[in-house]
Homo-oligomer: A and B are copies of this chain.
């Protein structure tokens, strides 16, 4: 809120929550990194090479030819029946299609969860670090967000249990998390679910990347273990395309009707045309043929990045993880070097990344940064990681 605006335009009084809204730091970073000639590991976009454009062309034409006026009319807030059925059938635990709410991207699922579960001052638990978009979605409802101690396997169940009393829910991304790329192991999942159940702590599980595994599927979702105490969010953005804005929420009966009412108030319904087109694309096992091509592509690019890091970062004291799927890799700079200091030096060498700090609900680890390996070519990965290593070396040697 700019107090100057309010003074020069009498009458507008902004809601208190508007003070919590801020331009996304990452969005501002992306503006810089979109300059031509920059090799950007900063984006959170899936590779456009994976978008099944021809399948969408065929499906759009069929939907408009066979069912045009229905596809263009107002529709039910719950979503298009056949798409809800397809979503229920995709999930690895028994889900009644009536439990599936289609959302305008899974970001809207986060907005609805915030509206239904967060009062001003409500405590919400998140991973350390966590998805920035969730922090932004919850912020207007004025929660107190607490980061739970986390390691390379996800949140620590003991710290989760300690913080659980009075918290409205814990927001968790078990698979190939944004920003770290880490995966919650099977024992950790069970420990987290057990700790949450013992503490009466509801879970909100966000799984946009779960299908993008490289060697083996991740363990079953948290929601599959205790569907009555977990809201599950999914998305078509990473396995088909984000530009149609299609996500979904699976919620237990205790909250589903309120999520539906919040959905209706928010935008009446998700575009019916988009829902029918995706339902059409999904027919005949399309995902079973399509998703493996995304996995193979992203795996090759992850491998290229890991190889380049091993080659270029030797001796610099830089640490990184080995993501088992998804789009992101998490890197930690040596003591004394922050990502904020590396950023302009890297940009001078025409390479960009996202500093890790904005992803922390509490005190950030300012030596961390996120690298996306999916929208660049393997040649760009080689060149870009070499440039990033050169910038790192320069600053490490300067002390």
* Residues of chain A at the chain B interface (Cβ within 8 Å): 1-2, 5-6, 8-18, 21-24, 27, 44-46, 48-49, 51, 53, 56-57, 60-61, 64-65, 68-75, 77, 103-105, 107-108, 111, 115-120, 122, 133, 136-137, 139-141, 168, 200-202, 228-229, 237, 241-245, 252-255, 257-258, 261-262, 264-274
A17 cross-chain contacts in B, Cβ below 8 A? 115, 119
- Asked if B72 and A45 make an inter-chain contact with CB atoms under 8 angstroms apart, the answer reads no
A111-B72 contact, Cβ under 8 Å, with A1-B258, A117-B15: no
A73 cross-chain contacts in B, Cβ below 8 A? 45-46, 48, 51, 241-243
Among candidates B56, B107, B268, residue contacting A245 with C-beta atoms closer than 8 Å = B268
A137 cross-chain contacts in B, Cβ below 8 A? 265-266
A271-B268 contact, Cβ under 8 Å, with A6-B254, A72-B51, A119-B15: no
**Whole-angstrom distance from the CB of A226 to the nearest CB of chain B?**
10
- Asked if B57 and A264 make an inter-chain contact with CB atoms under 8 angstroms apart, the answer reads no
A268 cross-chain contacts in B, Cβ below 8 A? 105, 107, 133, 245
- Copies of this chain in the oligomer: 2
Among candidates B45, B77, B168, B244, residue contacting A273 with C-beta atoms closer than 8 Å = B244
Chain B: CB-nearest residue to A12: B254
**Whole-angstrom distance from the CB of A171 to the nearest CB of chain B?**
14
A141 cross-chain contacts in B, Cβ below 8 A? 15
- Asked if B64 and A56 make an inter-chain contact with CB atoms under 8 angstroms apart, the answer reads yes
* Complex alpha-carbon distance, A382 and B270, angstroms: 35
- Asked if B27 and A264 make an inter-chain contact with CB atoms under 8 angstroms apart, the answer reads yes
* Complex alpha-carbon distance, A160 and B8, angstroms: 23
- Asked if B51 and A57 make an inter-chain contact with CB atoms under 8 angstroms apart, the answer reads no
**Whole-angstrom distance from the CB of A125 to the nearest CB of chain B?**
13
- Asked if B45 and A68 make an inter-chain contact with CB atoms under 8 angstroms apart, the answer reads no
**Whole-angstrom distance from the CB of A15 to the nearest CB of chain B?**
5
- Asked if B72 and A53 make an inter-chain contact with CB atoms under 8 angstroms apart, the answer reads yes
A53 cross-chain contacts in B, Cβ below 8 A? 64, 68-69, 72
- Asked if B118 and A262 make an inter-chain contact with CB atoms under 8 angstroms apart, the answer reads no
A241 cross-chain contacts in B, Cβ below 8 A? 72-73
- Asked if A72 and B244 make an inter-chain contact with CB atoms under 8 angstroms apart, the answer reads yes
**Whole-angstrom distance from the CB of A263 to the nearest CB of chain B?**
10
- Asked if A245 and B269 make an inter-chain contact with CB atoms under 8 angstroms apart, the answer reads yes
Chain B: CB-nearest residue to A203: B11
Can you identify 13 A-B contacts, CB atoms within 8 angstroms?
A2-B257, A5-B253, A10-B200, A13-B168, A14-B258, A15-B116, A23-B261, A51-B69, A56-B72, A57-B68, A72-B244, A108-B267, A111-B266
* Complex alpha-carbon distance, A120 and B111, angstroms: 18
A48 cross-chain contacts in B, Cβ below 8 A? 69-70, 72-73
A64 cross-chain contacts in B, Cβ below 8 A? 53, 56-57, 60
**Whole-angstrom distance from the CB of A43 to the nearest CB of chain B?**
9
A242 cross-chain contacts in B, Cβ below 8 A? 72-74
- Asked if A264 and B24 make an inter-chain contact with CB atoms under 8 angstroms apart, the answer reads yes
- Asked if B264 and A136 make an inter-chain contact with CB atoms under 8 angstroms apart, the answer reads yes
- Asked if A118 and B56 make an inter-chain contact with CB atoms under 8 angstroms apart, the answer reads no
**Whole-angstrom distance from the CB of A196 to the nearest CB of chain B?**
8
**Whole-angstrom distance from the CB of A56 to the nearest CB of chain B?**
6
